[in-house]
Amino acid sequence: MDFMQLESDLIVELGQKTHTKDIFFTSNNNHADLSTNALFILSKHMKKSPKDIFEQIKTKINNKYIKDITMSKNGFLNFHLHDNFLHDGLKNIIDDKNTFEKNNIKVNVEFVSANPTGPLHYGNARSVYGDSLANILRFAGYNTTKEYYVNDAGNQINILADSVFSEYLKLQNLPSLELEEQYKGSYISDIAQEIYKNDSEKWDKNNYKEHFKSFSMKYIIEIIKEDLLSVGIKHDEWVFESDIICKVSEAFEILRNKDLIYEGKLGTIHSKKGEESHQTLTLFRSSKFEDSEDRALTKPDGSNTYFANDIGYFYDKIKRDFKWMIVVLGADHDGYIKRLQNAVLNLADDIKLDIKTCQVVLFKQNGENIKISKRSGNALGLREAVEGIGKDMFRFLMLSKSLDTHYTVNTDQIVELSMENPFYYLQYAHARIHSMFNAHNKELDFNFSLDSLTESMCSLLKILLDFRKCIKSITRTLEVHKMTHYLTSIAEKFHSIWNEGKMDPEKRWILQQNEKYTNDRMVLAHSVKKTITQAMNLLGIKPYDSL
RNA sequence: GCGCUCUUAGCUCAGCUGGAUAGAGCAAUAGCCUUCUAAGCUACAGGUCAUAGGUUCGAAUCCUAUAGAGCGUGCCA
């Protein structure tokens, strides 16, 4: 038993099935143990006053956990709970019953998916969001896969190969290539040296391309994997663009049958160099679905655009039986969302696609914003960004803000920041509980009663009983930061109780003279620790036993 | 020009599907350690929720307009 369960039971008892999605409950407010707006909603649909509905419903509700139902002056329905609700709730936490049933819905969470052309930089800071979201969905019962999509078929990889080859030539004191665009980070020469060490002077301009492409890419993917590990991320699947290209035509077939693909011309298109082209291309009828224009699937040279390959990729996901696809992109891909959605949702029925964009996290150094530029090679690396603050706090920082926040981290203050961070507030709560169990290292008797609990301890327990509601809310909104705020509310209550104990010895967790009370309170402490640990694990943050 | 995101306390941010008196942390002020960790707690203070309209029993939340900030606006990925 917890609030999620109680609320869904109550909705059934309210006898309303049609408008349940507008009805919501709040617990732990000043007015009651549990409140709902149900009367407003029902009154709207039944064309009766809230008062009449209240009279009608009042007698119908016969729930063993509800002690009392009242209606507030302004029309809220307020419930007061029996103590057995808290008792059964606590028992459920101890017995590991506050979890979710497994369902068979396959969810694909794709995140990071940076081009394998260099180490991850701070622009990928928010990738921890996808990781934690996937953890939470898995906990909520979904069959969840964390996926990384590798764009290994695009032009960027050619530029990468050329950049490395150019360095390779330099190593031999040969004239390097004249490149319009190139990657310049130190890893480029590392790769060139590696190749030179392996193959000596085997490669020249006639045969280097394929080998340099695949070697460099593999090398960089290993770097990326380590970068990801530095923030605690490990993907389940790595899918390569080159492997799914074969799916593109199959996907196109479906769209063609719906008359969504045609051969035609777009308006005047300006290429990067300002040249204009009026060629006939293969186009996707995106404007049919609230996009500003139709979108090209082929380039003038006949090859596929990345959009075309992405359609193939999502078709591949559908073929792998994913019913819910979540994609986390940077805000710079914003203009891309509509066409992708329009295309993918037309590939199959009964699929759900959520494309989340995260606003860039800016890093400030010496008072100036650091620019992201992978090619110049001077962007702050993700690993360097993490090193200063540590994986756990880094994740907490990134996860505690909404994705839509334009969040700025000042690297000059990172060290100072560590002392004024809510992260420690949370860890401190966990550490305190840990120390309590050092002081009281007796076996707990789980045959407890709530008689010993103070009022504050009961409110803490109520927060614990909101855990599944929090999870459920995240599966609906995909807003992971709710979890950090939930954790903070537990920590807050816990610290507050702790200090009540300083003022009044009767309100401490451990009572020297009363073993029974101590045991019962420690049972609660045990479940607090359990919930914190569980929630932090979902966020990928390690709870500290001491600070 | 157009599209997306944002604007809430001095600063950084919450505010759940429109709900009751808009909340935390940091900073500021005043208290609390013979005690399981004072990296904590309590009290006080701080707000025309960018601005102006609209929708309704009810708006920080939804709609429209305006102002400001960020990002995007290749047949690059």
Rg, Å, chain A Cα set: 29
Q: How far is the CA of A285 from the C1' of B2 (A)?
A: 19
Q: What is the CATH number of the domain that holds A448?
A: 1.10.730.10
Same domain, A353 and A433: no
Q: Considering the domain boundaries, does residue A231 fall inside one?
A: no
pLDDT tens digits, residue range A115-174? Answer: 999 999 888 888 899 999 999 999 999 999 999 999 998 888 999 999 999 999 999 999
Query: Does A416 reside within a domain?
Result: no
Q: For residue range A227-280, what is the model confidence (pLDDT) as tens digits?
A: 999 999 999 999 999 999 999 999 999 999 999 999 988 765 444 444 555 678
Q: Tokens 């052309």 — which residue?
A: A117
A351 and A246 share one domain: yes
Judge whether A404 and A213 are in contact, CB under 8 Å: no
Least confident of A7-16, A190-199, A507-516: A7-16
State whether the beta carbon of A484 lies below 7 angstroms from any atom of strand B: no
Alpha helices in A465-514 (DSSP H): 467-477, 481-503
Task: Find and list the nucleotides of strand B having atoms within 7 Å of a protein beta carbon.
Answer: 2-6, 12-17, 19-21, 24-27, 32, 35-42, 57-58, 69-77
Domain boundary residue among A334, A358, A382?
Answer: A358
Give the domain CATH number at A59.
3.30.1360.70
Q: What is the dihedral sign for C-alpha A506, A509, A513, A514?
A: positive
pLDDT at residue A13, as a whole number = 82
Q: Which of residues 319-348 of A touch strand B (CB under 7 A)?
A: 331-336
Residue A481 forms part of a structural domain = yes
Asked which of A358, A392, A412 is the last residue of a domain, the reply is: A358
Is A499 domain-assigned? yes
Asked if the structure places residue A45 within a domain, the reply is: yes
Residue nearest to nucleotide B70 (CA to C1'): A406
Q: Write out pLDDT tens, residues A281-328.
A: 899 998 888 788 889 999 888 889 999 999 999 999 999 999 999 999
Q: Is residue A146 situated within a structural domain? A: no
pLDDT score at A387? 80
Judge contact between A185 and A377, C-beta under 8 A.
Answer: yes
Residue A128 placed within a domain: no
- Do A354 and A427 fall into the same domain? no
Q: What is the CATH number of the domain that holds A314?
A: 3.40.50.620
Looking at A81, A113, A134, which one is the last position of a domain?
Answer: A81
Q: Are strands A34-36 and A261-264 parallel, antiparallel or unpaired?
A: unpaired
CB < 7 A to strand B: residues 29-58, chain A? 29-32, 35, 37, 40-41, 44
Q: Do A265 and A348 belong together in one domain?
A: yes
**A342 and A428 share one domain:** no
In a domain, A392, yes or no: no
Distance A241 CA to B60 C1' (A): 44
Rounded distance in angstroms from the CA atom of residue A36 to the C1' atom of nucleotide B59: 19
**Domain containing residue A19:** 3-81
Are A323 and A107 in contact, with CB atoms under 8 Å apart?
A: yes
Q: Give yes or no for a contact between A158 and A395, defined as CB atoms under 8 angstroms apart.
A: no
Q: What's residue A15's pLDDT?
A: 67
Are residue A243 and residue A352 in the same domain, yes or no?
A: yes
What's the confidence (pLDDT) of residue A273?
A: 45
Non-local CB neighbours of A117 within 8 Å, separated by 6+ positions? A156, A157, A159, A160, A183, A220, A374
Q: Which of residues 343-382 of A touch strand B (CB under 7 A)?
A: 357, 359-360
Domain count, chain A: 3
- Between A47 and A100, the more confident residue is A100
What is the C-alpha to C-alpha distance for residues A166 and A272, in angstroms, rounded to an integer? 24
A341 shares its domain with A443 = no
Run of H or E residues at A327: strand A324-330
Examine the domain organization and report whether A349 and A425 are in the same domain: no
| Cβ of A181 near strand B (distance < 7 A) | no
How far in angstroms lies nucleotide B3's C1' from the CA of residue A4? 39
